[in-house]
Every structure is written in structure tokens, then in C-alpha cells.
């Protein structure tokens, strides 16, 4: 769930949540501590965060693409990765038997032994997906105890949402906005006490213009909340967050 490919983070979280649904007694006690530990790790993310964007699509017709690096980055680069072809699976060679026979050593999808350092913000994003899927599972099965345990993590979730000290913070914010309607449905009234902190970040995301996708997702969440929560709950949340109530009118 800390993979450098966004779809892998989300799909891994969903797979684990599905497994928890099948074996709740065995897995829940193991998953919850990891969720508690990893969700707020983005707070320790250094300013110079990274994303996994410079790769070549896998396949026999792929054309390797050289990764552009500054002199400073090149001096710090890991030789396991620098000047090597990187494919969409994250490996250093395609998964084709023809290529494998021609290689002097086993590398690539089936024999990848090199891993890049984990980005803390990506690990936290994986936990956002896991929390969402677990909450949906707990809500659908009527497990009040599990929902209460997950509700205790909402302060950590709001802090991770607000975290902005690293370069790619808008990506985590966007992914969390994408999942907030599901989180809202799963937690229901339990989310109300935490609305002020979420509203602060949502208003900032919806009001900025640098990241259009984030702006759209945040605006959609605000519209969804206007339809979900009572007006007095949202007005009180705005007051507690020191926000002008007009933010709800402008974005609704």
C-alpha cells in the first residue's frame, strides 16, 4: 500500500480490506495498529517529495525514455535505478521471455531485487484507501465496535489531509477528496465533530487555482456535504473552523 504507483496503492488497500471481510477475527487486530501507525506518517514527509511518473509502458513495443535529472539529483541517484529503463510495473526490465534469455542476469517483473525508498506521503495515501474500505466494510456489516475504532483515527486523517509541507501534497489531498464521499457515508453522524478541521482544508483546496483536479474534487465534496449534513451542522462547523459561511454558498 506504499507502492509508488497510485493504482497499486488503492487496489492493494481494497484487496486487504476484502481479506479482512473474510477473516475479520484474524486480521483486524493486526491491521488496526498498522493503520494507526502509518496514516499520520505524511507529517514526517520531507519537503522534496517524489512521484513515480517517468516510466516506459511495459510491452514488446515499448520505447525506453531517458529520465531527466538535474546535476544535483544525478549525484545523489541510486545506481540501481539511474540510466536504467523503468517500466510501468516499476521493474527494470520487461516481462518477456525473449528478453529474459538475452539478459546476463535475471531482472524485471519476476526477479526484481531493487526497491526505491518509500515516500511517506504515499504510505499515508495507502492508509487513506484502507481506512475508507474498512469503514465501508464495518458500516455495511453493522459493526459498531469496528466503526468506533476507526472513528478514533479521524483526527489523524484530518491532520494528514491538512499537511502541506511537501511538494506533492496536492496529490494526497486530491485522493482523499475522491474518497471523502465514501468516508462520509460510512461514518455518518460520527464525522460531524470532525467537520471543522476537514472544512478548513476543503475550503483551501476548493479556493486555490494551481491544481484544477484538486479544486474540482474539493468542490464536489462540499456540494455532497451540503446535501448530506443539516445546515446548522455545517454552519456550526464553519464557525468552529473560523470560516465564513459563504464558502458553502459559493461552492454549493
pLDDT per position as a tens digit, 158-204: 999 999 999 999 999 999 999 999 999 999 999 999 999 999 999 99
Neighbours of 53 (CB within 10 A): 7
For residue 152, give every residue at least 6 positions away whose Cβ sits within 8 Å of its Cβ, in sequence order, or none. none
pLDDT at 108 over 50: no
- Grade residue 84 by pLDDT with cuts at 50, 70 and 90: low
Give the up-direction half-sphere exposure of residue 190: CA atoms within 13 A in the CB hemisphere: 20
Nearest C-alpha neighbor of 12 from the set 38, 43, 40, 49: 38
pLDDT bucket at 218, cuts 50 / 70 / 90: very high
Please tell me the distance from the alpha carbon of residue 187 to that of residue 138, in angstroms, as a whole number.
9
The pLDDT, as a whole number, for residue 168 is 93
Contact between 45 and 159 under an 8 Å Cβ cutoff? The reply is: no
Between 103 and 72, residue with greater pLDDT: 72
pLDDT band at 249 (very low <50, low <70, confident <90, very high): low
Neighbouring-strand partners of residue 87: 56
CB atoms within 10 A of CB 4: 18
Confidence (pLDDT) at 73: 66
Grid coordinates representing 1 are: 500500500
Burial bucket for residue 59 (CB in 10 Å: 0-12, 13-18, 19+): exposed
Query: Among 134, 156, 157, which Cα is nearest to 146's?
Result: 134
Q: 152-180: b or e for each residue (b if 16 or more CB lie within 10 Å)?
A: ebbebbbbbbbbeebebbbbbbbbbbbbb
Tens-digit pLDDT profile for residues 56-69:
454 554 555 555 66
- Helix-then-strand count for the chain, H and E: 12, 0
Mean of the pLDDT values across residues 32-58? Answer: 80
Q: What is the mean pLDDT of the chain?
A: 83
Is residue 82 very low, low, confident or very high in pLDDT (cuts 50, 70, 90)? low
Q: Is the pLDDT of residue 81 over 70?
A: no
The β-bridge partners of 248 are: none
**The C-alpha cell that represents 39 in the structure block:** 496514516
Q: Does residue 130 or residue 89 have the better pLDDT?
A: 130
pLDDT band at 98 (very low <50, low <70, confident <90, very high): very low
CA distance linking residue 132 with residue 56, whole number of Å: 31
Amino acid at each position: 500500500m506504499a507502492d509508488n504507483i497510485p493504482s497499486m496503492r488503492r487496489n492493494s488497500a481494497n484487496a486487504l480490506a476484502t481479506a479482512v471481510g473474510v477473516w475479520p477475527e484474524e486480521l483486524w487486530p493486526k491491521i488496526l495498529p498498522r493503520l494507526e501507525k502509518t496514516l499520520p506518517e505524511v507529517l514526517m514527509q520531507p519537503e522534496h517529495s517524489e512521484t513515480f511518473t517517468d516510466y516506459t509502458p511495459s510491452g514488446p513495443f515499448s520505447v525506453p525514455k531517458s529520465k531527466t535529472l538535474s546535476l544535483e539529483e544525478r549525484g545523489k541517484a541510486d545506481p540501481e535505478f539511474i540510466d536504467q529503463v523503468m517500466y510501468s510495473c516499476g521493474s527494470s526490465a520487461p516481462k518477456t521471455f525473449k528478453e529474459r534469455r538475452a539478459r546476463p542476469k535475471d531482472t524485471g517483473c519476476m526477479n526484481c531485487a531493487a526497491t526505491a525508498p518509500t515516500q511517506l506521503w504515499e504510505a499515508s495515501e495507502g492508509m487513506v484507501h484502507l481506512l475508507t474500505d474498512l469503514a465501508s466494510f464495518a458500516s455495511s456489516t453493522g459493526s459498531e465496535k469496528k466503526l468506533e475504532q476507526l472513528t478514533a483515527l479521524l483526527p489523524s486523517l484530518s491532520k494528514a489531509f491538512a499537511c502541506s509541507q511537501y511538494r506533492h501534497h496536492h496529490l494526497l489531498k486530491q485522493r482523499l477528496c475522491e474518497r471523502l464521499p465514501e468516508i462520509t457515508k460510512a461514518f455518518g453522524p460520527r464525522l460531524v465533530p470532525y467537520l471543522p478541521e476537514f472544512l478548513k482544508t476543503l475550503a483551501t483546496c476548493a479556493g486555490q487555482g494551481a491544481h484544477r483536479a484538486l479544486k474540482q474534487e474539493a468542490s464536489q465534496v462540499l456540494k455532497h456535504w451540503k446535501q448530506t449534513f443539516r445546515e446548522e451542522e455545517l454552519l456550526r462547523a464553519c464557525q468552529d473552523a473560523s470560516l465564513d459561511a459563504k464558502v458553502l454558498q459559493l461552492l454549493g
